[in-house]
Amino acid sequence: MGRDRFRVQALRMAFVTASWNPLGEAFYRKLELYEMSWSIRDGLRDSLVAAAPYGGPIALLREPLRHSPSSRPQLEIYSASGIAITSFPWKSGPVVHLGWSVSDELLCVQEDGSVLIYDLFGSFKRHFSMGQEVVQSQVLEAKVFHSPYGTGIAIVTGSSRFTLATNIEDLKLRRLPEVPGLQGKPASWVVLTQDRQTKVLLSIGPELYILDNTSCTAVCPPGLSPHAGSIVHMSVSFSYKYLSLFTDSGHLWAGLSNLQEKLIEFDTKKTDRPKQMLWCRRPKSQQPSVVLMWERLLLVVGECNDTIHSTLTQNPIFPVVDVSFLVGELDGVRIINSTNQELLQEVPLVCQDIFKIASMAPGALLLEAHREYEKSSQKADEYLREIKEQNVLEKAVQQCVEAAAHEYDPATQKSLMRAASFGKCFLTDFCSDHFVSTCRELRVLNAVRESSVGMPLTHTQFKQMTLQVLIDRLLFRQFYPLAIEICRYLKIPDYQGVNRVLKHWASCKVQQKELSDDAIARAVCVKVGESPGVSYSHIAAKAYECGRTELAIKLLDFEPRSGEQVPLLLKMKRSHLALNKAVESGDTDLVYMVVTHLKNEMNRGDFFMTLRNQPVALSLYRQFCKLQEQETLKDLYNQDDNHQELANYYVTVSYREKRLESRLSQLQNAVDEYNKAKNDFAAKATEEEMRLLRFQRKLDDEKGAGLLGLSLQVTMETLLSLGLHKQAEQLYRDFKVPDKR
Amino acid sequence: MARRDTPELPDFSLLKRLARDQLVYLLEQLPGKKDLFIESDLMSPLDRIANVSTLKQHDVVKLYKVEYKPTVSLSDQLCFLIRPRIQTVKWICDVVNADKAAGRFRRYKIIFTPQRFFACEAVLEEQGVFGDVTTDEWAFYLLPLDDDILSMELPEFFHDNFLAGDQRWLRTVGGALHLLHSVYGPFSKLYGIGSCSKMTYESWREQVEQGEKQVRPAEIGSVFLIDRDVDFVTPLCSQVVYEGLLDDIFRIKCGCVEFGPDVTSSDKSVKVMLNSQDKVFNEIRNEHFSNVFGFLSQKARNLQTAYDRRQGMDIKQMKTFVSEELKGLKQEHRLLSLHIGASESIMKKKTKQDFQELLQKEHCLLEGFEIRESISFIEEHISRQISMIESLRMLCLLSITENGLLPKDYRSLKTQYLQSYGFDHLLTFSNLRQLGLLMEQQGAETLTAMESKVGKLVNDKTAGKITDAFSSLAKRSHFRALSRKLNLVPKSDEEYDLRVPKDMAYIFSGAYVPLSCKLIEQVLERDGWVGLEEVTRLLNGHEFAVTGGSRAEASSDAQRLVLVMFLGGCTFSEISALRFLGRAKGYKFIVVTTAVTNSSRLLEALLGNRV
């Protein structure tokens, strides 16, 4: 019975394992991802190709080297499934290298060292230069690389100097030290990110050098035979952990990128330089391997334990019919040619366990049991009992779920998931979270793998890039409805999910030049509505960036938080509107912010005029002036013809004057202003005070009575107590004091 | 009629705990030993939240008062706990710049409470120290002074908001309301009167909308917001309820009063906390002063009998007496003697100043009788230079109750005042005029005529603003009319028994029901402003009544808890009146105020010669 089972199983598994090729202990498989939707006349020949990892878009620049000044190369951008996104003639200078940034922007490095950045839809975003001296010396080669700091660019110039920028979002150019003995560009070079440092590894003949910020050091890979010849090609793995070198004698050396250990050494017996060499390695895989591609040959070289020399999975298995392009991924290599696209990867261990011919793994048994069950065969029970006897049912379910995640074909996914679901019926306390989340994730992945969307992500890649980033990528590609569907399906909190999508959508919407301001504002309002977390000011800021100030103002009207409205309005130079909004908000901090802004922005007269129409702002500014700028306060009252306040101001100032003369003159100013204000009572009172002060001064000088500053009544009392009755009498008469005293 | 079952008050000590925890957190943000500079008027509130040992536990080595002098601190880390005032921030800038000039490196942290203002940061920036200091906010909005009094301890609110027209504190008050809202659950209804109240309400609403929404059980029923400038009469009257009197005479500071040697009958001053924990005080605080003596002597007798019980006791009884009762009795004894001392001191002071006459004239003003006599009384008051503030107070009271002074009186009284107390009060008068506290009588016709003339000249929008400006200019009191409408002054021919008060007028010896409290009573009774249209018109409008939007119906107990928020301060008399109203109608009032005020504080804020 047992043998019989194996035979049946072997037949069934055959279709899954047909594409498997053994390499040492591991298997490699090629999965067909897409039949490319594009129709490229000359294939990929003579084109500059850049394809972003994680199922990113593909950019093609046809015939980058101009044959004649009049013919312009065509820049084309495709989705990973080959759907044309955009195409336009390249009008700038000759392009040396194309690359994609982590946020799906296309970087075009030109010969003169300038880097032009385009978005996915081919619209120009910005540009920067890799240094002035490059204009002269020209870029010979450039590389775009990704590190924890973001997307970086490295170039080597005609004067054999390397320049690095580790993050294009925060551009800091680093010119690396000179490499002794280097003429032109090195035979091969790569960028390495190690110990939070970005370095360049380069080869001159058989020598290998590491170039960092300060120095250039010669290094020697352990175990590379001295007769191997010059190093003509090298590549680092996705994680910068492994390095492979290819010499002109056909030797391949692979090891750790810190050059501490050799993993593989292999003689390919091919002396011509491979077109591409990439690492093909999944995280936690059994062994690393290197994929080399020549014109008509693809070679996978891995480490093999049973022989000292590494063996080669014999070459004809991956014939290359057409000009192809390899894209290194986290867990494999994508092979793109003019007709189709495939993923070459090591078969995950769990899939091996399940699908390997004659496998006795619990998962394999469970899958078989389920198959029999669907056929209503009693054999299902036998298989199941066998699993149960070994007490591995839970493991079996887990294996099926995991394997389903790694499978690309929905039918295989389904049969595995069904088996898992069948198995878990027989488990009492099974936590189905993993099962459910895998189901959901697979649905999402299948949706984005659709040719129309074109993001051939594996489950491992998806886990690595996270859902947030996946949604971001969908947003960059403007798949808004799909993004919203995914957010809703995965029940992501609105704040991070749907609303974020809406925000992007709205920001994109405001850039549609053909629609009128009103139409856009209305459309945005209808869709976005009152969704929390979608900031109208953010959308408005976008609109303003696109030069649509009026639209921005319209959108700002929807913004409930004035704290967000006002700064943008200021930026748009709508100061009056900003002031109005700030005052309406009742938030004095905002008002004050606008006032300070206006103060620096406008000339004094206009500034005061503006304030006059806003009593709240005015009183706030006055309050500030009282403490900070007394003089301004005066000007402010002057401007307003506010004689009453101006007079009060003079009176206040007079108290601060130590000298009597200046105090009197300030008081005289006050009298004038009181008169202008038609406040004759105050004017008279001030005059009297001046008279009193003079009188007190006189008496102080004459008799030393110490009267200055006392009130009239106190003065009189003091005079009386000093026995100066005559003077008191005089005061009494002069100031018409009521008779009460 | 009277309902005895007053609902339980929410636990406001929670606010203290919250404030303390946040302060500790902020102090921890600046790890290591540091010196703390505290703004002088934050000293006592801070003491109620976190005492010195708490601060020391969190690495505060020395405490300094902000005194606008160069610092003597030797610490490498300075922490400033201040109100967001430009003046103080400037001083800090000077400190930092002085250190820089001396080549000294220190770390500085400014903690603004209850919030920071942009203006302060702008000053930091202007003085070039923005990068040298870190700033933080200590959201210490409300200090529970007692079980039912929460104070924001922001006396400057009154000056800044009503006189200078500076509205920056409104957001702060809104923040305080928001804090209460988030801790004690949604309000079922909000009423308010006055433009400040309205803006506060709006600011609060905005903060609620922006904040996270969580459903809490409602512990507070309705909220009543009232501007101080709605009712200036009440704070200007002499207080005769015990607590109010204490405040008028000894000045209660942050719920704490300092009795001088004349009260303690020793040569030491004693600081006493005045709150419901003090059993003696709790029973007399709301009483009319004339009752206090009788009560205190009764209490003294009771105490004596309690002590006397010792005589007939055997040892065992004595033991329990000593262990259980004696401490309480001793405590009570101490407090009793203090309050008796205080009352005696009050009596002495008040008889000296012809207090009775003063009160009588006040009552005349409130009733509108014998105006001429009152004026000559005031004239005498001024010429005898009895008290600058008191004279001013009487002047203002006269002006408000009389709807402004006759031009002749206005000029002569002002002249006399200036001659007596000094010319600098010219500015004080200008301030008082601006607030409508001391005005010249003006024919209403001239004003409306002017208004319409101006109105024709400008477009509609500005016209509205100008009308607003005019109405504030014409902030004339319609006290007489209001008094009739709301029956604020009871008929004087009836004998008023102060021992058994029948309405809130008892707090002014039965002569006047405080307008603010009467409004609250009326609005609560009518559940809105319906039927009070005439009154609100006289008060310049800005009234509102809205439902709080709490779907969950509050328990009936919580419904009877009313939060009254005074913007610009309230007096102890008003609090007493509200407590009486609460007892009579089965409500319990929680008073939230920007600061506890009285006539002197109110007028001092308006003196023109400050700074």
Query: Is residue A362 one of the residues assigned to a domain?
Result: no
Percent of chain A with pLDDT over 70: 90
Residues 6 or more apart whose Cβ sits within 8 Å of residue A375 = none
Cβ atoms of A277 and A255 within 8 Å: the answer is no
User: How many C-beta atoms surround the C-beta of residue A493 within 10 A?
Assistant: 10
Are B291 and B188 in the same domain?
no
- In sequence order, which residues have a C-beta less than 8 Å from that of residue B276 and are 6 or more positions away? B146, B147, B282
Mean pLDDT value across chain A = 80
Interchain contact B164–A (C-beta under 8 A): yes
Partner A contacted by B496 (CB < 8 A) = no
When mean pLDDT is compared over A96-110, A631-645, A677-691, B66-80, the highest value belongs to A96-110
**pLDDT value at residue B332:** 82
Mean pLDDT (whole number) for A471-483: 86
Backbone phi and psi for residue A623, each to the nearest 5 degrees, phi listed first? -60, -40
Q: How many domains does chain A have?
A: 3
Which residues in chain A touch residue B125, judged by CB atoms under 8 angstroms apart?
Answer: none
pLDDT at position B566: 92
- Upstream peptide bond of B114 is cis (omega within 30 degrees of 0): yes
The answer to whether residues B24 and B69 belong to one domain is yes
User: Is some CB atom of chain B closer than 8 A to the CB atom of A578?
Assistant: no
Over residues A376-383, the mean pLDDT reads 85
- Residue B463: the pLDDT is 42
Which token pair is B604?
């001092």
Q: For chain A, say whether B391 makes contact (Cβ under 8 Å).
A: no
To the nearest whole angstrom, how far is the Cα of B170 from the nearest Cα of chain A? Answer: 8
Amino acid identity at A170? D
Q: What is the per-residue pLDDT for B272?
A: 82
CB hemisphere CA count around B395 (13 angstroms): 30
Asked if the structure places residue B468 within a domain, the reply is no
| A441-455 residue pLDDT tens | 999 999 988 888 888
Is residue A505 in a domain? no
Strand order in the sheet with A188-194: A188-194, A197-204, A207-211, A216-219
Look at residue A43 and tell me whether its pLDDT is greater than 50. yes
Are A712 and B419 a contacting pair at CB < 8 A?
Answer: yes
Task: Judge if B195 and B225 occupy the same domain.
Answer: yes
CA distance A492 to chain B (A): 19
Confirm whether A459 is domain-assigned.
Answer: no
Cβ atoms B195, B542 nearer than 8 A: yes
- Closest residue in A to B424 (Cα) is A651
Q: Across the interface, do B165 and A710 touch by the CB < 8 Å criterion?
A: no
What phi-psi label fits residue A449: left (phi over 0), alpha (psi between -120 and 50 degrees) or beta?
A: alpha
Helix (H, G, I), strand (E, B) or coil at A551: helix
> Whole domain around residue B31: which residue ranges?
12-139
Q: Rounded mean pLDDT of A359-382?
A: 86
CB-CB contact of A56 with A104 (8 Å): yes
Q: What number is the average pLDDT over the span A521-536?
A: 72
Instruction: From B243, B44, B47, B272, select the one nearest B148 (Cα to Cα).
Output: B243
Name residues whose C-beta falls within 8 Å of residue A504's C-beta, 6 or more positions apart in sequence: A475, A480
B426 touches chain A (CB under 8 A): yes
- How does pLDDT run across A198-229, given as a tens digit for each residue? 889 998 888 889 988 888 888 888 887 777 78
Nearest CA in chain A to B469: A615
DSSP B496: -
The B residues from 528 to 587 touching A (CB cutoff 8 Å) are none
Last residue of some domain: A285, A319, A346? A346
Q: How far is CA B460 from CA B447, B448, B449, B451, B454, in A?
A: 19, 16, 17, 13, 11
Tokens read off for B459: 């477009």
In a domain, A356, yes or no: no
Q: Rounded distance, CA B508 to CA B521, Å?
A: 17
Q: What is the pLDDT of residue A740?
A: 53
Rounded average pLDDT over A69-98: 84
Both A236 and A187 in a single domain? no
A237-262, pLDDT tens digit by residue?
888 888 888 888 888 888 888 888 88
Contact B426 A685 (CB under 8 A): yes
Q: What CATH number is given to the structural domain containing B126?
A: 3.40.50.2060
B313 touches chain A (CB under 8 A): no
Q: Determine contact: A732 vs chain B, CB below 8 A.
A: no
Distance CA B565, CA B594 (A): 8
Question: Is B209 an 8 Å CB contact of chain A?
Answer: yes
What percent of chain A is predicted at pLDDT more than 90? 5
Confirm whether A266 is domain-assigned: yes
Residues in chain B: 611
Residues of B in contact with A587 (CB under 8 A): 171, 203
Using CA atoms, how far apart are residues B549 and A481, in angstroms rounded to an integer? 35
Q: How many domains does chain B have?
A: 4
The pLDDT value recorded for residue B549 is: 58
Q: Tell me which of B126 and A631 has the higher pLDDT.
A: B126
Mean pLDDT split into 10-residue runs, chain B, 611 residues: 62 88 88 88 86 86 85 85 88 89 88 86 85 88 89 87 80 88 86 88 84 74 89 88 87 84 76 82 84 84 80 78 78 83 81 76 83 85 83 88 84 85 83 83 53 45 44 58 83 69 83 89 87 82 75 66 90 91 88 90 78 40
Return the sign of the alpha-carbon dihedral for residues A666, A671, A673, A679.
positive
Report the complex ipTM: 0.71
Q: What is the pLDDT of residues A261-290, one digit of tens each?
A: 888 888 877 888 888 888 887 777 667 788
Q: Does B166 touch chain A (CB under 8 A)?
A: yes
What lies within 8 Å, CB to CB, of A429 at 6+ separation is none
Picking from A320, A346, A372, the residue at the C-terminal end of a domain is: A346
Of A592, A655, A710, the CB nearest to B119: A592
Q: Which pLDDT does position A142 carry in this prediction?
A: 92
Could you report how far apart the first and last alpha carbons of chain A are, in Å? 133
User: Domain range spanning residue A224?
Assistant: 27-33+220-346
Assess B386–A contact: CB distance below 8 Å, yes or no.
Answer: no
Nearest chain B Cα distance for residue A169, angstroms: 25
Other beta carbons less than 10 A from residue A516's beta carbon: 9
pLDDT at A316 over 50: no
CA of A485, closest CA in chain B: separation in Å? 26
CA distance A551 to chain B (A): 25
**Are residues B426 and A735, on separate chains, in Cβ contact within 8 Å?**
no
pLDDT, residue A189, reads 92
**A620: which chain B residues are within 8 Å (Cβ-Cβ)?**
166-168
Q: Cα dist. A741→A161, A735, B452, B477 in Å?
A: 100, 13, 47, 33
Q: With b meaning 16 or more CB within 10 Å and e meaning fewer, what string describes B552-576?
A: eebeeebbbbbbbbbbbbbbbbbbb
- Using CA atoms, how far residue B206 sits from A242, A587, B457, in Å, is 57, 11, 36
Return d(Cα B443, Cα B407) in angstroms, integer: 11
Determine whether the interchain pair B426/A622 forms a contact, defined as Cβ–Cβ distance below 8 Å: no
Residue B257: strand pairing partners: B272
**Is residue A711's pLDDT more than 50?**
yes
What is the number of CB-based contacts under 8 A between chain A and chain B? 111
Interchain contact, A651 vs B427, CB within 8 Å: yes
Comparing CA positions, the residue from B497, B480, B500, B498 lying closest to residue B488 is B480
The whole-angstrom separation of Cα A28 and Cα A313 is 10
Token pair in block for residue A359: 């496998």
Nearest to A588 among B171, B385, B415 (CB): B171
Q: Do B430 and A644 touch (CB under 8 A)?
A: yes
Structure tokens at A446: 């299948």
Summarize pLDDT for A731-740 with one digit per residue, the tens: 777 776 665 5
What CA–CA distance (Å, rounded) separates B570 from B157?
A: 12
Cβ atoms within 10 Å, residue A374: 13
More confident residue, A118 or B436: A118
Clarify whether residues B132 and B150 are in a common domain.
no
Q: Same structural domain for residues A233 and A328?
A: yes
Q: Is residue B167 in some structural domain?
A: yes
> Domain with B408 in it: what CATH number?
1.25.40.850
In a domain, A510, yes or no: no
**d(C-alpha A419, C-alpha A406), whole Å:** 15
Q: What is the mean pLDDT of residues A556-580?
A: 74
Q: Which of A5-9, A292-296, B133-137, B505-509 is predicted with the least confidence, judged by mean pLDDT?
A: A5-9
CATH number of A704's domain: 1.10.150.780
Burial class (CB in 10 A: 0-12, 13-18, 19+), A100: buried
Question: What are the chain A neighbours of B433 within 8 Å (beta carbons)?
Answer: none
